[in-house]
């Protein structure tokens, strides 16, 4: 089973989808209700951006599920409560780890324990080696290739979010999300001008847009966004109510409209040189 899809592009635009995977590895060993576990997926995000590779965009997609390993976390964001033995290296804390949403999830978004056991250090290390390391290497390689060819790179880290934040999902439980949330870690991973262009693009098409709230962007934009070096990374969160039934996970009539507007966004970015903005 292939854990990652990598499609090399020719443009300065790099897109990655770290959370849309639906291939559950045999060694996962989860013990919670599968339907509730699937709520962690950024379901159908890879389909919404399906036209990007044909337009010359670099595309990286995880097939392993986010709850198995979250590629948008650093490799040291490990929850010690999940382990049967001490981790042999340094550990990072933070709100997500406290919520049971570190590199390896301990709890679902609604607070359901995922395992009835503790994980061994060896199996967590194996997940990092098989999933996290190649995913991050692929995104880094695409960013390097895009900049080497064009002198700049625009990286979109592609996600979806529930209409209303779950109890254990974020620090804002119960928050009703905007249609689109754009994150650049308080303007540290892409220029204010670029994120403003994106905001205008969506608002002109009738979407409500929030910038850096409640999602600022996490590990992938932090690693690759460096506006001073003409590397611009933005986390793009799409409200699932726009394109699917959150209960059944089935796309609805809004899917095609959102897909079309995302394709128009890609066209806009392909014609934009942020060095001239």
Pair 75, 109: CB distance under 8 Å:
no
Q: CA dist 260 to 48, 59, 103, Å?
A: 8, 18, 33
pLDDT at 173: 83
d(CA 236, CA 177): 13
The region that residue 156 occupies, defined by phi over 0 for left and psi between -120 and 50 for alpha, beta otherwise, is beta
Between helices 192-203 and 254-270, what is the axis angle to 10°?
140
Report residue 109 as tokens.
């978004």
pTM reported for the whole predicted model: 0.96
Domains of the chain: 4-76+119-276 (3.40.630.40)
Summarised one tens digit per residue, pLDDT across range 10-63 is: 999 999 999 999 999 999 999 999 999 999 999 999 999 999 999 999 999 999
Summarised one tens digit per residue, pLDDT across range 64-118 is: 999 999 999 999 999 999 999 999 999 998 888 988 999 999 999 888 999 999 9
- Please list the residues that pair with 210 across neighbouring strands: 181
The answer to whether the peptide bond before residue 214 is cis (omega within 30 degrees of 0) is yes
Average pLDDT, the chain: 95
Query: H/E/C letters for each residue in 166-185?
Result: CCCCCCCCCCECCCEEEECC
| Whole-angstrom Cα Rg for the chain | 18
Query: Quick one: which of 77, 49, 53, 62 has its CA closest to 23?
Result: 62
pLDDT at 277: 65
pLDDT at 94: 85
DSSP 15-79: EEESS------TT----S-HHHHGGGS-TTHHHHTTTTGGGT-EEEEE-S-TTT--TTS-TT---
């Amino acid at each position: 089973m292939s854990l990652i899809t990598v499609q090399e592009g020719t443009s300065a635009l790099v897109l990655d989808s770290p959370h849309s995977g639906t291939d559950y590895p045999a060694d996962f060993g989860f013990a919670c209700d599968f339907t509730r576990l699937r709520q962690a997926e950024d379901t159908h995000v890879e389909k919404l951006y399906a036209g990007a590779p044909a337009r010359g965009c670099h595309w990286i997609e995880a097939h392993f599920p986010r709850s198995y390993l979250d590629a948008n976390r650093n490799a040291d964001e490990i929850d010690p409560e999940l382990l049967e033995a001490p981790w042999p290296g340094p550990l990072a804390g933070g709100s997500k780890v406290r919520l049971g949403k570190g590199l390896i999830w301990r709890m679902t978004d609604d607070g359901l324990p995922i395992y009835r056991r503790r994980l061994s250090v060896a199996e967590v290390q194996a997940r990092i080696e098989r999933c996290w390391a190649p995913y991050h290497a692929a995104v880094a390689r695409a960013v390097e290739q895009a900049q080497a060819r064009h002198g700049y790179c625009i990286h979109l880290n592609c996600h979806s979010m529930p209409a209303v934040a779950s109890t254990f999902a974020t620090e804002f439980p119960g928050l009703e999300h905007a249609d689109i949330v754009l994150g650049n870690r308080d303007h540290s991973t892409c220029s204010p001008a670029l994120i403003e262009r994106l905001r205008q693009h969506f608002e002109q098409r009738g979407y409500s847009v929030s910038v850096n709230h409640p999602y600022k962007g996490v590990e992938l934009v932090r690693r690759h966004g460096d506006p001073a070096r003409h590397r611009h990374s933005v986390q793009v969160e799409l409200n699932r109510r726009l394109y699917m039934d959150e209960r059944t996970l089935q796309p609805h009539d809004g899917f095609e409209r959102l897909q079309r507007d995302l394709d128009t966004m890609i066209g806009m970015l392909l014609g934009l040189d942020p060095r001239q903005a």
